[in-house]
Structure 1
Amino acid sequence: MTKVRVYELAKKLGVPSKKLMTILEDLDIDVKNHMSSLEDDMAQLIIDLINEEKEPKKNKKDKEEEKELKIIEPKKEVEKKEEQAKSKTQKVVLPEKITIKELGQKTNIEPVKLIKKLIDFGLMLNINADINFESAKRLLKEFGFEAEKEEEESKEKLVKKIKEESAGNLKPRPPVVTVMGHVDHGKTTLLDAIRETRVAAQEAGGITQHIGASQIEKDGKIIIFLDTPGHEAFTALRARGASVTDIVVLVVAADDGVMPQTIEAINHAKAAGVPIIVAVNKIDKPDANPEKVKQQLTEYGLIPEEWGGDTIFVNVSARNRIGIDQLLEMILLVADMQELKADYDSPAVGVIIEAKLDKGRGPVASVIVQKGTLKVGDIIVAGGTWGKVRAMFDSRGKIVKEATPSIPVEVIGFEEVPVAGDILKVVVDEKTAREMAEKEKELLKEKEDITSPKVSLEKLFDKIKKGEVKELNIIIKADVHGSLEALKQAIEKCSNDQVVIRIIHGGVGAINESDILLASASNAVVIGFNVRPDSNARKLAEKENIDIRTYRIIYELIEDLQSAMKGLLEPEYKEVVIGHAQVRALFKVPNVGIVAGCYVVDGKITRNANIRVIRNGVVIYEGKISSLKRFKDDVREVASGYECGIAIDKFNDIKEDDVLEAFVNKKVE
């Protein structure tokens, strides 16, 4: 007896896989997921049932219900009109600032009357003068109105609103897919194969449009691929509150297997809660071993469907165009299961995925519309900038007049360059747009002045007491795999009734920008064991207010975590890094030992500072400076941009290209 898969049957019947799964559940037919198989006779039974359901059945009962609806409808309309009239005489919604002229228009009160009343209050203002909400509220009270403040929509609320639109106006939208994976595993080649074009050839041809996304068609359905350079860009957007990806395609080379960046990509996708499809690439290579890749990925929770899991694996060769159609089919299947929908009729809301200043065209932004339809001529706001859509181009550089949900377009018409991750919103007029942009700029300034602190070990207990923290996310970076595994086990045991500790990512090597971005997006603490943050990571951590903790002894780390959870952590001293020097040459000096000829890269090196020797991001030694010289003279400090000679107390194993990190311990007030 032959068998048929659930998703194949759904395709044959022309119904979504999710609907078919529900029907099977109602019939008590045991199926795990859309890849499960059904016997032929069972499949025929389902076909008969669905065909019966499709037949029109308009009986007497339906007609009676229709009649009832017609009777109820006018009554509802009357009630609605009465309610509107009632609310019009009593309440009015106002923004933070409004002109007297606009206030008169909103309330049907002559502006002259409003100005006279303001004179009674001791305010001499003209018709175009702005007054704030509190003044307007007091003024309108005199005329029998109750003023309510217009609720500001934050970025988070907007994103939530997009997802929570009423089902009535919703129509299916194309899925947005991000391709992630380890470097050299074939992400770009796979995207090229999917688009059936070559990026390099396009760039050589001088095409200037780079939209940051590609649009392809499969079986009459559209799929959008984000051309991100990897998980860093994916997480950077998420850190700013914008979530644009529906599906992640994880590319793993069949001859190479799981690599550090593969694990990073998995953790970034999981932290975002996005479904993962694994594309096992380079299957045509002689040493390809797809089964080994499957085995390795089970350790990270990606279990193939044929092994009882729910992760789809597709074997592909990007170079030879093998398995591409099957991959696209699986993307459409996962999208079908997610039932991706959006409102096409409302004013457009989207996300800026890239933005730049073009010499000839001015500010240019790549946008993915998430709700509504964006049209040429629309007045738009994104973060602290606004504009009018003068022109739009699709992913192939062709001029378009409108863009519907999920469709990526390049937008020209902004006054200034917006920021990637900003939410784009269509508004009624230029005045509103200008006001909203100004307000956002003010908010950004306020945020810069008082940056909202991310979770840190010092403040953990206070947050636990207030009920703000029930979960502590941690990212661990260690010098070797052995240390990493030991740390994971030890840290997970620290969880208690009040706080669950979740390790969202663990890796080997220096703390990098990608770790800080993930920490920012997931509100996590970064822990380094025998490793240090690189300069870019350090700057980003300061900007994003991320707590980085570095340790050399495992017990100190565990003690700190336990103390933080009990509210006992009161650090008396804080380590402050004051400078970095790179070793350029080595000299053997009698009675001194090895002296490192160094170039001070940033900050300064002082004679009384502690010194740390870092090789490839890993701490080799920590100690004191025994000698600091400029030429032959002893000096107290050497600033950045200068050369110097550094000798380290009781340590001679220095190598060229080592980084010497100078730090001091300052008492925390």
Structure 2
Amino acid sequence: MCIYNISESPKHLCSSFLCFSTEEAEGDKKKKDKKKKKGEKEEKEKDKKKGPSKATVRAMQEALAKMKEEEEQAKREEEERQRRLEELEAQRQEQERLEAERKEKKKQKDKERKERLKKEGKLLTKTQKEARARAEATLRALQAQGVEVPSKDAMPKKKPVYSDKRKKKPTAQTPEGLIPTPISCSLYLPVVIKDEEESEDEEDKKDSSVKMTTNKARKEPSSESSSESESDDDRSKEEILYDKAKRRIEKRRQENLKNINFDKLRSPVVCVLGHVDTGKTKILDKLRHTHVQDGEAGGITQQIGATNVPLETILEQTKMVKNFDKESVKVPGMLIIDTPGHESFSNLRNRGSSLCDISILVVDIMHGLEPQTIESINLLKEKKCPFIVALNKIDRLYDWKKSPDTDVVATLKKQKKNTKDEFDERAKAVIVEFAQQGLNAALFYENKDPRTFVSLVPTSAHSGDGIGNLIALLVELTQTMLARRLAHCDELRAQVMEVKALPGMGTTIDVILINGCLREGETIIVPGVDGPIVTQIRGLLLPPPLKELRVKNPYEKHKEVSTAQGVKILGKDLEKTLAGLPLLVAHKEDEIPVLKDELIRELKQTLNAIKLEEKGVYVQASTLGSLEALLEFLRTSKVPYAGINIGPVHKKDVMKASTMLEHDPQYAVILAFDVKIERDSQELADSLGVRVFSAEIIYHLFDAFTKYREDYKKQKQDEFKHIAVFPCKLRILPQFIFNSRDPIVMGITVDAGVLRTGTPVCVPSKGFVDIGIVTGIEINHKSVESAKKGQEICVKIEPIPGESPKMYGRHFEAVDIIVSKITRQSIDALKNWFRDEMQKSDWQLIMELKKTFEII
């Protein structure tokens, strides 16, 4: 409020009124501005609600299009630049390649020219060329004087003399009248016979001390060329020796094949195949009157055994067989190989059948063809190996009356009607099973065509029935159908079967000698893990007749062994020998490289089978065959192996296995199969934390290791269960909200994945707000640990400790999707320890959530 003084002059009063009116006007203006601004603000809010104008949108679109076009232009320019750089680089490389090719061609051309000149005798040093020029000048001078010089062709041909070590006596001077003849001979000496050294010596004698310096300079290039020619000579000499040795080996082999003696037969190699527990080893025990099977761990054959059966035993065992002419037996005996039937030993079975002449397939008459029997049939088909079938365990037929000293045909006739009927029924069932495998089969006494039909011989390894008939049939078939194959041949054919460490003898190899002869002191080449091994035979050991090669027997030492035998060879450096490949003999030293190359080709294929992983267990076995079987078993069971060895477990093996403690502790394990573990090695393993599993049966070893892995995995699962988060996607059921805050209790549907108790959950659509941790799951009022896709459940979600509780309706709504909160660590834990509990759909959900959470 303004108080004006009236007593003031009018002038002042007037100015006061003017001031008042101005103030009023300004106040009205301010009010108007306020209203205007308010109006503009409301219009702007309306415009905002309406959205940007068309012009703005168009301008934005144009700006975006321009930006995009600029980016594309920049991208094109960058691509063009890269392309030009690549082209320039390609041109440079091409030029380098062409230049290298040109240099190589030039080098090759020079080499060829030198070789050609060398062959023609025209490759001369500077000194030789000078000597030649002097000789030609002398020749021309003599011709000018009218001396008659005979032509080169007219001269008598003499054997070339390359060097004469003897000292020459000084000869008397020739008379003048006899000059023409020596001159004519000497004319060709510098060109043909005189070598570089002689000519240089002459120069040195003639020239003064000043000229000697020039001769030294002259000698340098000549010495280079001579060294080059020497290296070429050395190389070519090696190649010549190699080719010579190769030709000699080929010639010897061809001669040996030509000189085959068809009148003299070797012992046939017979392989016994079949399913586990069908009685393969038992049949041989009956034949030998031994108990090898009782000495094997669990009664399961785990190594290949070879038995020499002499002629006397064959005649003794077949004495009861009718229509068998003992006088016509030509074979000197038999070599029978017993192979394991367990599926883990398929590689041993493969090794046994690869070198046999005829096989015995043992079939249990009570069970017919079993898995390993079918595998053996396929193996025999693949190797095109003839075989006969032993229908074993006929003594288990009801009311069977045994008669081992009688022909099995007569024994069958003696049986009661019900026993004969059961036998006929079971034999027909086996014949039908063979037909399903694509093979014709018939009982041996009904088989009129052994080439087309497989013969079935009823046998009993327990009682001995039919064993004589089995041997008689083997002898008949080998002498008639395989006579050509069994013909005596001097060409060596031997195969390494086993590598075994024996106390007092060191590492020995068991070899099946099929053809040829082995002698003590001979140089042999055997396949090894690191390449072919060259060693000498220190001893040839044979088991006594009817004793197995693999069983510890008092061996007989021999100087020479001929076919067909199972022989144990003593020698140096046999530790790394690979079984299943041929053994070769070098008659001369220059044959060793040729035979080594031959073995390397075969080695490559076998070594591919033994591939070590970076992370894996350490495997130790008594023989390579057992080792291969164990490795095959581990491979099929998807257990990696990082180290292998043969023989007892030493400290060095424990140290090698302990390296896995740093990489992956679950593989810090030694699997010792049929080997001794030294005490200090066991103590070292205990102190380092390396587990050593030992067993005599492959399955017991694997069971122990499997149990250890399961326990280890369970321990790790308990350790990582709070880190591992299983993926899930949940949808809220709004009609079942029982408590909206601390704890949230509500009904949900599992749309994808698996929900487990302890799973942290969040809402991605609300800025990844963490709702809490699922502490309880109920289905139909029953508490459960997990819920799968499609289930409607009630969950209790408690807040994360240290965070404020979240509320349904405020922090998230019914329309929001809830997911499990995964991290990189939780995914790794699932991969390492919970892989078996995850399905393919769960991994797909993990991939989806990784994108949502932007996890790399």
Q: TM-score, normalised by structure 1?
A: 0.46
Who wins on radius of gyration, i.e. which is larger? 2
- Higher helix fraction: Structure 1 or Structure 2? 2
Q: TM-score, normalised by structure 2?
A: 0.37
- Higher strand fraction: Structure 1 or Structure 2? 1
